[in-house]
């Protein structure tokens, strides 16, 4: 490697982002694990290259779960690089060791991007000066502007501190509370700082549904031409039919008619959560899928940075927005022929933009072949593009009509609305028709033809009928409604001026939902999210403070304040340590009869999948792992593990059976972060005498190896 000291090292989060940046800064020479040119070296981290080590990395005794060893609190936190990412880490470490002028952190511009870079920087032992590239899109012009205005890395120290506290808090609570409750009940019970309160919301909704007592009621209808007026609700049919008989064929009089002009303002631009919610409602996409599609579009330079919690653009983006609207009106196939002048001022508010502005398309969309994009990405791009048109369109205005009719002393009411100006709904409805959105709509006021009623009008020979109805229980959560609930959690208990409320952040909520699914605590049924029996059992034994959405939301807000230097990392972590003491003390006080709640349940419900390679006892399937039935044995094969997570793969029952029987299993759908493609290979499992599991790959041919690379 050339060692000229005036060169700059640039570190991106992923290979695709590194390549985009390299083209802009002129680093065209491909090396092993990096690119070079024009005085730059540019490499990448493959996502989270280094993560906090498991407890056994601090002391081998932690390999066995033991209440007496808790709490586990590292004196000095250790970072570990996953085996499959070690090659790339070695490339970075060597690059960091060169005599360079500085290193540019070009990882995603957010809390996690800061953590990804700084962990590798610290592990490498580098003392190079750090600059920060902070961009909201991957367009060439944005990257060029970002390099002209590189920030000093120290300006983002608070952001990194918040990322450290978030990760350490999650580790401490997850590792300690999970072990404490699992050993107390002798049953695997996984606890998470955000995961457990989210599961509690699912379980509470399920209880509201199962405990709902539906009630029957009846209504009498008064019919005349297009008119359909209804009575009050009656508990018994006979009363409704009595009134129907009294009024049938009689004359009715319109007593009152109220007409009111109303309007609905356009929806705001998308932040990540609202994009995920609507994509779930319109297309059935999971939150994780939407984030992956949006991230891919960002890396393809077609969408701005997706992990944002803002729904506005900055005040200086007016001309950018106007230019983008002109582009979209010409290229979107579903834009109505008649459009009005956009009200761009409505979407501008610098005070409501923190790290990143709302999600909008980039100018690159004008050159893109949108039809060639994968279906999911195409829908998300068109959805985000249309939202810019929708958010700047005119109000949806209509006339609401409510009338009261009297017949033989009985009152009936009717209502509806007549659209005066469709406004922004022209764009929204056109997009939904074009993309064939599968949206389940809530009942609304009747829209369309309404009889032209006037006060005092006489209606002759009216007809009647009776209809039967039932009160409806609450509906199960969908990802749309759960994301909304997570976003609003704790809102009532927090001050109105608190900026960030809720469980998790826009960037992490999808992963929380996925952990509930992969952990066996919830399942998807079409669009619905339903807690499993394991999920319900977990919540039953959890104390209220571990299920508290308000407390977790408060922690999340404190992390935001920490990013701004308004809260102390030490104070935050002191509160986490005190919280752990409470958890452990409460576990110790659980009575013996309660501890036996799950006695024999693992044997009854678990399914044997093979023989333990350490002690020879049976291995059974649990919610999150395949574990040895011998409680003294430490062997555990986790369904979701670090080695496979980057390959978007989890261990299923067939794979586990193969690994236990033959020490290896074959799969065709491993994912390569580097190439963005799937590949097939043999996965081999190694097990130490202490029960520690590790993996490596074997490739059947060179083609598969090249796909991975």
pLDDT in tens, 116-158: 999 999 999 999 999 999 998 899 999 999 999 999 999 999 9
Buried b (16+ CB within 10 A) or exposed e, 520-531: bbbeeeebebbb
Answer with the residue of higher pLDDT: 617 or 170: 170
The CA distances from residue 442 to 191, 283, 590, 691, in Å, are 35, 17, 45, 54
C-alpha 379/C-alpha 376 separation (Å) is 5
Q: Which two tokens stand for residue 17?
A: 């982002």
Whether the pLDDT of residue 58 is over 70: the answer is yes
C-alpha 136/C-alpha 304 separation (Å) is 6
Question: Which residues lie across from 29 on neighbouring strands?
Answer: 36
Residues 253/456, Cβ–Cβ less than 8 Å: yes
The CA distances from residue 497 to 253, 273, 405, 547, in Å, are 52, 20, 47, 24
- Exposed, middle or buried: residue 473 (CB in 10 Å: 0-12, 13-18, 19+)? middle
Quote the pLDDT of residue 566: 93
C-alpha 443/C-alpha 278 separation (Å) is 18
Q: Which two tokens stand for residue 233?
A: 């609700």
- Exposed, middle or buried: residue 470 (CB in 10 Å: 0-12, 13-18, 19+)? exposed
Mean pLDDT of 16-29: 93
Whether the pLDDT of residue 634 is over 80: the answer is no
Residues 6+ apart with CB under 8 A from 382: 332, 370, 431, 434, 435
Q: Where are the domains of the chain?
A: 8-149, 164-210+479-595, 216-265+401-417+444-470, 272-394, 606-708
- The alpha carbon of residue 583 and the mean position of all alpha carbons in its chain are separated, in whole angstroms, by 28
Q: Which regions of 233-318 does DSSP assign to beta strands (E)?
A: 252-264
Quote the pLDDT of residue 489: 83
Whether the pLDDT of residue 707 is over 80: the answer is no
Confidence band, pLDDT 50/70/90 cuts, at residue 196: very high
- Exposed, middle or buried: residue 619 (CB in 10 Å: 0-12, 13-18, 19+)? buried
Q: Which regions of 273-384 does DSSP assign to beta strands (E)?
A: none
Q: Which regions of 551-677 does DSSP assign to beta strands (E)?
A: 607-611, 618-621, 625-628, 636-638, 664-671
Nearest to 100 by CA among 132, 126, 133, 134: 126
Whether the pLDDT of residue 299 is over 50: the answer is yes
Residues 6+ apart with CB under 8 A from 184: 67, 587, 590, 595
Mean pLDDT of 444-472: 85
Confidence band, pLDDT 50/70/90 cuts, at residue 701: low
Q: Which two tokens stand for residue 582?
A: 């409470």
Superfamily, domain 164-210+479-595: Topoisomerase I, domain 2 (1.10.460.10)
Whether the pLDDT of residue 703 is over 60: the answer is no
DSSP 270: B
DSSP code string of 373-421: S-HHHHHHHHHHHHHHHHHTS--EEEEEEEEEEEETTEEEEEEEEEEEE
Q: Which two tokens stand for residue 296?
A: 């891919």
Quote the pLDDT of residue 568: 95
Residues 503/194, Cβ–Cβ less than 8 Å: yes
Nearest to 645 by CA among 695, 682, 699: 695
Residues 6+ apart with CB under 8 A from 494: 501, 550, 553, 554, 557
DSSP code string of 327-365: HHHHH-TT--SS-----GGGGB-GGG-SSS--B-B-GGG
Whether the pLDDT of residue 649 is over 50: the answer is yes
Render pLDDT for 530-586 as a digit per residue (tens, 0 to 9): 999 989 999 999 999 999 888 888 898 899 999 999 999 999 999 999 999 999 999
Residue showing tokens 């261990």: 651
C-alpha 350/C-alpha 354 separation (Å) is 8
Nearest to 397 by CA among 425, 420, 426, 430: 420
Average pLDDT, the chain: 89
Q: Check the CA dihedral 585-590-592-598 and report its sign.
A: negative
Whether the pLDDT of residue 2 is over 50: the answer is no
Whether the pLDDT of residue 28 is over 90: the answer is yes
C-alpha 631/C-alpha 58 separation (Å) is 22
Quote the pLDDT of residue 494: 47
Quote the pLDDT of residue 584: 94
Whether the pLDDT of residue 673 is over 80: the answer is no
Confidence band, pLDDT 50/70/90 cuts, at residue 705: very low
Render pLDDT for 308-367 as a digit per residue (tens, 0 to 9): 989 999 999 999 999 999 999 999 989 887 667 899 999 999 988 877 899 999 999 999
Q: Which two tokens stand for residue 520?
A: 């066996």
CATH architecture of 216-265+401-417+444-470: Distorted Sandwich (2.70)
Residues 562/161, Cβ–Cβ less than 8 Å: yes
Q: Is residue 510 helix, strand or coil? A: helix
Whether the pLDDT of residue 441 is over 90: the answer is no
Max CA pair span of the chain:
99
Render pLDDT for 463-518 as a digit per residue (tens, 0 to 9): 999 999 999 999 999 999 999 999 988 665 545 444 556 888 888 899 999 989 88
- β-bridge pairing 102-106 and 34-37: unpaired
Buried b (16+ CB within 10 A) or exposed e, 262-297: eeeebebbbbbbbbbbbbbbbbbbbbbbbbbbbbbb
Helical (H) or strand (E) element with 588? helix 569-588
Mean pLDDT of 674-682: 80
Confidence band, pLDDT 50/70/90 cuts, at residue 631: low
Nearest 5°: phi and psi at 344?
Answer: -70, -30
Render pLDDT for 358-409 as a digit per residue (tens, 0 to 9): 999 999 999 999 999 999 999 999 999 999 999 999 999 999 999 999 999 9
Give the whole-number percent of the chain exceeding pLDDT 70: 92
Alpha-carbon dihedral of residues 224, 229, 231, 237, nearest 10 degrees?
60
- β-bridge pairing 34-37 and 151-152: unpaired
DSSP 526: T
Residues 301/362, Cβ–Cβ less than 8 Å: yes
Residues 6+ apart with CB under 8 A from 115: 48, 160, 163, 164, 167
- List active site positions: 305
Quote the pLDDT of residue 695: 87
Residues written for the chain:
709
C-alpha 579/C-alpha 77 separation (Å) is 19
Render pLDDT for 84-100 as a digit per residue (tens, 0 to 9): 889 999 999 999 999 99
Render pLDDT for 591-610 as a digit per residue (tens, 0 to 9): 988 998 887 654 444 568 88
CATH architecture of 8-149: 3-Layer(aba) Sandwich (3.40)
- Exposed, middle or buried: residue 611 (CB in 10 Å: 0-12, 13-18, 19+)? middle
CATH class of the structural domain 272-394: mainly alpha
Mean pLDDT of 645-651: 82
Rounded to two decimals, the pTM is 0.82
Determine how many CB atoms are found less than 10 A away from the CB of residue 126: 19
Quote the pLDDT of residue 495: 52
Render pLDDT for 246-281 as a digit per residue (tens, 0 to 9): 999 999 999 999 999 999 999 999 999 999 999 999
């Amino acid at each position: 490697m050339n060692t000229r000291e005036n060169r700059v090292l640039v570190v991106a989060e992923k290979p695709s982002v590194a390549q985009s940046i390299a083209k802009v800064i002129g680093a065209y020479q491909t090396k092993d694990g990096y690119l070079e040119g024009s005085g730059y070296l540019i490499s990448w981290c493959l996502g989270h290259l280094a993560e906090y080590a498991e407890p056994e990395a601090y002391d081998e005794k932690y390999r066995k779960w033991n209440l007496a060893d808790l709490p586990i609190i590292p004196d000095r936190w250790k970072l570990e690089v996953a085996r499959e990412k070690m090659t790339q880490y070695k490339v970075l470490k060597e690059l960091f060791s060169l005599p360079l002028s500085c290193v540019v952190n070009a990882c995603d511009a957010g809390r996690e991007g800061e953590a990804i870079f700084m962990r590798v920087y610290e592990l490498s032992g580098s003392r190079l000066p750090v600059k920060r590239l902070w961009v909201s899109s991957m367009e060439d012009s944005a990257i060029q502007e970002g390099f002209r205005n590189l920030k000093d890395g120290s300006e983002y120290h608070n952001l990194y501190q918040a990322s450290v506290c978030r990760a350490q808090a999650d580790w401490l609570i997850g590792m300690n509370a999970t072990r404490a409750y699992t050993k107390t009940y002798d049953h695997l019970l996984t606890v998470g700082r955000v995961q457990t309160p989210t599961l509690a919301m699912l379980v509470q909704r399920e209880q509201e549904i199962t405990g709902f007592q539906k009630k029957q009621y009846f209504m009498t209808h008064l019919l005349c031409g297009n008119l359909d007026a209804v009575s009050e609700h009656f508990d018994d049919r006979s009363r409704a039919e009595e009134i129907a008989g009294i009024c049938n064929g009689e004359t009715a009089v319109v007593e009152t008619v109220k007409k009111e002009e109303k309007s609905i303002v356009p929806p705001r631009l998308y932040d990540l959560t609202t994009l995920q919610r609507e994509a779930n409602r319109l297309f059935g996409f999971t939150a994780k899928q939407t984030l992956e599609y949006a991230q891919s579009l960002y890396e393809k330079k077609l969408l701005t940075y997706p992990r944002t919690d803002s729904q506005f653009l900055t005040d200086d983006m007016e001309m950018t927005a106007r230019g983008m609207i002109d582009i979209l009106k010409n290229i979107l196939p579903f834009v109505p022929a008649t459009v009005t002048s956009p009200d761009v001022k409505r979407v501008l508010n610098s005070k409501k933009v923190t790290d990143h502005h709302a999600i909008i398309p980039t100018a690159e969309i004008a050159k893109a072949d949108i039809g060639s994009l994968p279906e999911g990405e195409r829908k998300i791009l068109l959805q985000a593009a249309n939202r810019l048109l929708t958010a700047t369109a005119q109000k949806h205005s209509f006339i609401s009509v409510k009338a009261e009719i009297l017949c033989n002393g009985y009152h009936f009411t009717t209502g509806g609305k007549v659209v005066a100006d469709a406004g922004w709904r022209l764009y929204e409805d056109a997009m939904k028709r074009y993309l064939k959105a599968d949206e389940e709509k809530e009942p609304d006021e009747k829209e369309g033809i309404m009889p032209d009623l006037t006060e005092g009008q006489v209606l002759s020979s009216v007809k009647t009928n009776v209809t039967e109805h039932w009160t409806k229980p609450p509906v199960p959560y969908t990802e749309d409604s759960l994301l909304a609930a997570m976003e609003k959690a704790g809102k009532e208990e927090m001050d109105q001026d608190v900026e960030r409320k809720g469980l998790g952040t826009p960037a992490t909520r999808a992963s929380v939902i996925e952990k509930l699914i992969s952990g066996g605590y919830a399942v998807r049924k079409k669009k619905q999210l339903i807690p499993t029996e394991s999920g319900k059992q977990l919540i039953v034994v959890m104390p209220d403070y571990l299920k508290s959405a308000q407390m977790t939301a408060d922690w999340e807000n404190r992390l935001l304040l920490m990013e701004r230097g308004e809260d102390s990392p030490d104070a935050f972590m002191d509160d986490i340590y005190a919280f752990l003491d409470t958890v452990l003390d409460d576990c110790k006080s659980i009575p013996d009869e309660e501890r036996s709640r799950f006695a024999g349940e693992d044997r009854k419900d678990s399914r044997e999948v093979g023989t333990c390679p350490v002690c020879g006892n049976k291995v059974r399937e649990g919610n999150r792992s395949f574990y040895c039935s011998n409680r003294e044995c430490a062997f555990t094969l986790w369904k979701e593990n670090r080695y496979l997570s980057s390959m978007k793969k989890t261990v299923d029952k067939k794979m586990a059976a193969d690994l236990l029987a033959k020490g290896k299993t074959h799969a065709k759908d491993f994912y390569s972060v580097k190439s963005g493609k799937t590949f097939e290979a043999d996965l081999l499992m190694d097990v130490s005498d202490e029960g520690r599991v590790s993996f490596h790959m074997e490739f059947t041919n060179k083609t598969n190896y090249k796909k991975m690379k």
